Amino acid sequence: MSDIAGTKPALRWVVHLSVIFLVVLWVVPTLGLFISSFRTADQIATSGWWKSLFPSEQNLTLRSAAAENQVLEDGMYVIEGNLFDASQKATISKWGVSSRAVDAFEPGQTAELRRGGTITVDASGNYRMENAEEFTGARGARVFVTAELPPEFTLDNYHKVLLAEDSTDSMTRAFFNTLTVTVPATIIPILVAAFAAYALAWMEFPGRALLIAAVVGLLVVPLQLALIPLLKFHLGIGIGKGYLGVWMAHTGFGMPLAIYLLRNYMAGLPRDLIENARVDGATEFQIFTKLILPLSFPALASFAILQFLWTWNDLLVAKVFLIDASGQTTVMTNSIVELLGTRGGNWEILATAAFVSIVVPLIVFFAMQKYLVRGLLAGSVK
């Protein structure tokens, strides 16, 4: 077997390069978020994520120590120290004491302070303030510096999402709750839909085409419409809000796509195979379980991935059918939204949360991909 990359080396290079190009195109947006998840909110809001990998020149507003740290030296009140945290290493190129002139001075020069006294700042951030009178006020003087800063990353965001005291419990619980929602909500629709898809693909009965059309038609029903009538129904028959309700809802909402995908795949299986089995006296039930199910594995796996992702990332259905006032039935997406707070503007938390919640779907995809291939090899009798 051969393909485009066939025999010509030049073409092979073109293939490799185009794949690299496409992958880069697809990965860059996510990469941006990934890097952002290791930065503080202020960093995200002030400089591009790609710059965070290199040393960068930044304008910072720093503050000297407060007046209470002053000492009396030879009749002068003096405050000394370093503007940066002990962990920070930076080189100052310009500095200033007024927001109107942030780069008025070179390192080593001395500036007059507005409230009296002078300040000298050197390139590494050491400063010395002198005043003939006592320094007053609860806070130190503002110093504006232009400095070269090394790249800086933080794990605080992950710490906050995963390990912070109040969220660990809820995240762990949310994780198991989400699994509790997604696994049955993935397996049950597949099983139910597979039988129906087989009937629609390989059994003759009146109204078959109409039923297929109906399934396709139902694919487009906007979910939002179904919420109120169905919640009413669940409350009416006594299920209320809970796992049973959310499983049923996901089963119902996932059904059209499941039937549609599986039927299309099954209809493409070789006719001889099924006819031969029928001639050999196999019952339809046997044909389905022994022949169709194994052969349809790739389609089952494809749908399983889709349904799993959909239920894993779902918030709306969970909110309507599952999450009640007890606070016990939260899911991952919901606890992430909770972490964001009432006005939800914390990009750094969002970025981190997006990566926390992406891990499981990616594992599932990698695992299923192996099965996909295996299923395909089994199905290559076609």
Residues numbered 227-246 forming contacts with another protein, rule: CB under 8 A: 227-233, 235, 240-241, 243-244
CA 329 – CA 95 distance, rounded (Å) = 54
Q: Identify which range of 69-77, 119-127, 157-165, 335-343 contacts another protein by CB under 8 A.
A: 335-343
CA 83 – CA 97 distance, rounded (Å) = 13
What is each CA distance from 248 to 310, 316, 322, 360, in whole angstroms?
15, 15, 11, 23
CA 60 – CA 75 distance, rounded (Å) = 32
Q: Which is nearer to another protein, 76 or 264 (CB)?
A: 264
Q: Single out the residue of 72, 99, 165, 169 in contact with another protein (rule: CB under 8 A).
A: 99
Judged by CB under 8 A, the number of residues near another protein is 160
Residues of this chain, 337-356, that bind another protein according to CB under 8 A: 337-345, 347, 350-351, 353-354
Q: Which is nearer to another protein, 73 or 377 (CB)?
A: 377
Side-chain-side CA neighbours of residue 209 (13 Å): 0
Q: Identify which range of 65-73, 76-84, 157-165, 320-328 contacts another protein by CB under 8 A.
A: 320-328
Q: Which is nearer to another protein, 79 or 295 (CB)?
A: 295
Q: Identify which range of 66-74, 79-87, 119-127, 137-145 contacts another protein by CB under 8 A.
A: 137-145
CA 1 – CA 86 distance, rounded (Å) = 63
Q: Identify which range of 11-19, 66-74, 80-88, 157-165 contacts another protein by CB under 8 A.
A: 11-19
Smallest separation, CB 74 to another protein (Å): 30
Q: Which is nearer to another protein, 119 or 336 (CB)?
A: 336
Alpha-carbon dihedral angle through residues 203, 208, 209, 214, given to the nearest 10 degrees: -130
Spatial neighbors of 329 by CB under 8 A, at least 6 apart, are 177, 241, 242, 243, 322, 323
Residue 15 in the binding site for another protein (CB under 8 A): yes
Residues of this chain, 65-94, that bind another protein according to CB under 8 A: none
Residue 61 in the binding site for another protein (CB under 8 A): yes
Handedness of CA 275, 276, 280, 284 (dihedral sign): negative
Across 132-189, the runs of DSSP E, i.e. the strands, are: 142-149
Residue 224 in the binding site for another protein (CB under 8 A): yes
Q: Which is nearer to another protein, 75 or 100 (CB)?
A: 100
Residues of this chain, 264-293, that bind another protein according to CB under 8 A: 264, 267-268, 283-285, 288
Across the chain, the runs of DSSP E, i.e. the strands, are: 56-63, 71-73, 76-82, 91-96, 110-112, 118-121, 126-131, 142-149
